[in-house]
Amino acid sequence: MNWLKREINGKQLYSFVIASIALNFGYSILAFKVMGILNIGISPVRSAADQIPIFTIFTPFILLGAAFVEEIFFRFAPLFVAVEMELSAKKLFVVVLVISAVFGICHGSAQHILFQGIGGVIFSVVFLKCGAMQGRYFKALIASAVSHFLFNVAVIITAVIKGGATSF
């Protein structure tokens, strides 16, 4: 757990956020490929924003707002409590797994634990490593929200390039 307690600052912070996005994106691509090979379908993510065209002036604000709100509910609130309670590494890991599974399920179904749930674990590590373990919750929230936002942007850009998305 010592590696988690060492807060990331400066240029390392930017590198860590970029690495988390790359890891999340790479994992998602690999998981989709494996599911395709195994002929396992996954239900699409559904939300109230399903009919919003991707390219509007509001798109960046919608994506940033959604990422920020999700980070407050799925990272900030539960991990703030867990860190303040000074849970052991094992208990903290269980909290991360539970909130990440719920994060995945909230994106559509239990199948989404494979994608958004794993992403939730990655965003949780960003939150904890970028200041939460030292009580710098606002910095941690900004780091995880930016990571989440940039990942969502990468997913949408990929979907648009592949020609499969006109709304989100």
Q: What is the chain's mean pLDDT, rounded?
A: 87
Q: Which pLDDT score, from 0 to 100, does residue 54 have?
A: 58
The span from the CA of 11 to the CA of 97, in Å, is: 28
pLDDT surpassing 70 at residue 91: yes
Residue ranges of the domains in the chain?
Answer: 75-160
pLDDT surpassing 70 at residue 129: yes
Q: Which pLDDT score, from 0 to 100, does residue 46 have?
A: 53
Q: Which pLDDT score, from 0 to 100, does residue 165 have?
A: 55
**Average of pLDDT values for 60-82?**
94
Percent of the chain that is helix, strand, coil (3-state, to 5): 75, 0, 25
Which is it for the CA torsion 114, 116, 120, 122, positive or negative? positive
Please name the amino acid found at residue 122: I
Q: Which pLDDT score, from 0 to 100, does residue 92 have?
A: 96
